[in-house]
């Protein structure tokens, strides 16, 4: 990655599908769990219910609430959609691990004098449990912020808070993540350097977009490429 590093002072980094494989661990676990409930509601096999969730996400995108779509498709009450989403989200946070190069990369960036910030979206308790399980409470980040959309939080607000608090200009900040419609779009609008992490369901959805809403400044397959 060829960034004019003398201008960079900080990195804002996403969590899910950026520092660990969320799509193939927690997302699959959640879908499998919900499949049992769906199978009972619409009288089908669990495997079919699991695949139906994938099909709905491919059709409507990763931002859509697929359980609302499923409820409408099978004439189920919207209360079912809320319960299914709750069941999907509230799964056991275990057996997840950072990508192999994450710890070393964070330590090297920190030793080189960069400010490091973790900004992640989701329910506060769940995201905190992920952070603890992944061992990220060990002082790797100068600050960790969780944006809970149900409480009206946004990544834009978090990014602005970080810049104000640490006296950073947008061009001095590198924003790293997998979601083009979330942290990367926000970073781009604010004038930050944007780096897409090529992994997970959000990245796969981005590849299928005919008219891409945002084109990140850089793309990486491994977090250690930030050291380049």
**Low-confidence winner among 17-21, 87-91, 119-123, 207-211 (lowest mean pLDDT):** 207-211
- Residues 103-115: pLDDT tens digits? 999 999 999 999 9
Say how far apart CA 88 and CA 119 lie, in whole Å.
22
User: Which tens digit of pLDDT belongs to each residue from 183-209?
Assistant: 999 999 999 999 999 999 999 999 988
Which residues sit opposite 194 in a β-bridge? 175
pTM of the model as a whole: 0.92
User: Two tokens at 109?
Assistant: 């960036």
Averaged pLDDT for residues 77-96: 94
Angle formed by the axes of helices 28-42 and 78-89, nearest 10°: 150
> φ, ψ for residue 105 (rounded to 5)?
-65, -45
Residue with structure tokens 């449990």? 129
Task: Name every residue whose Cβ is closer than 8 Å to that of residue 51 and which is 6 or more positions away in sequence.
Answer: none
Structure tokens given for 23: 């799509």
Using left for φ > 0, alpha for ψ between -120 and 50, and beta otherwise, residue 98 falls in beta
Query: Strand 173-177 relative to strand 10-13: parallel, antiparallel, unpaired?
Result: parallel
Mind listing the pLDDT tens digit for each residue in 113-134?
999 999 999 999 999 999 999 9
Task: Give the start-to-end residue ranges of the domains of the chain.
Answer: 5-21+96-227, 24-89
Please, what is the average pLDDT of the chain?
A: 93
DSSP-H helix ranges across the chain = 28-42, 46-60, 66-73, 78-89, 102-111, 124-133, 155-165, 185-190, 200-208
Residue 204 has, within 13 A of its CA and on its CB side, a CA count of 12
Angstrom distance (rounded) from CA 198 to CA 35: 28
Give the whole-number percent of the chain exceeding pLDDT 70.
98
The Cα 169–Cα 176 span in angstroms is 16
The per-residue pLDDT for 140 is 96
* CATH architecture of the domain formed by 5-21+96-227: 3-Layer(aba) Sandwich (3.40)
Specify the pLDDT at position 212: 75
First to last CA, the chain: 5
Query: What is the per-residue pLDDT for 210?
Result: 75
Q: How confident is the model at residue 228 (pLDDT cuts 50, 70, 90)?
A: confident
Reported confidence tier of residue 15, pLDDT bands at 50, 70, 90 = very high
């Amino acid at each position: 990655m060829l960034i004019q590093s003398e201008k960079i002072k900080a990195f804002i980094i996403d969590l899910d599908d950026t520092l660990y494989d969320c799509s193939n661990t927690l997302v699959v676990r959640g879908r499998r769990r919900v499949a049992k409930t769906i199978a009972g509601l619409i009288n089908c096999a669990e495997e079919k219910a699991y695949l139906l969730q994938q099909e709905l996400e491919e059709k409507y995108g990763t931002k859509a609430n697929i359980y609302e779509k499923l409820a409408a498709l099978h004439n189920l009450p919207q209360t079912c959609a809320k319960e299914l989403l709750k069941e999907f989200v509230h799964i056991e946070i275990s057996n997840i691990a950072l990508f192999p190069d994450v710890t070393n990369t964070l330590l090297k960036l920190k030793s080189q004098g960069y400010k490091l910030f973790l900004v992640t979206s989701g329910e506060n308790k769940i995201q905190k449990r992920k952070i603890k399980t992944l061992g990220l409470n060990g002082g790797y980040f100068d600050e960790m912020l969780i944006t809970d959309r149900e409480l009206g939080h946004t990544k834009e607000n978090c990014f602005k808070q970080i810049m104000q608090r640490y006296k950073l200009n947008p061009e001095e900040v590198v924003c790293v993540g997998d979601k083009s419609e979330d942290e990367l779009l926000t970073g781009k609008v604010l004038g930050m350097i944007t780096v897409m992490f090529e992994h997970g369901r959000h990245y796969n959805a981005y590849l299928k977009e005919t008219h891409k809403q945002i084109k990140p400044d850089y793309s990486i397959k491994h977090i250690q490429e930030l050291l380049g």
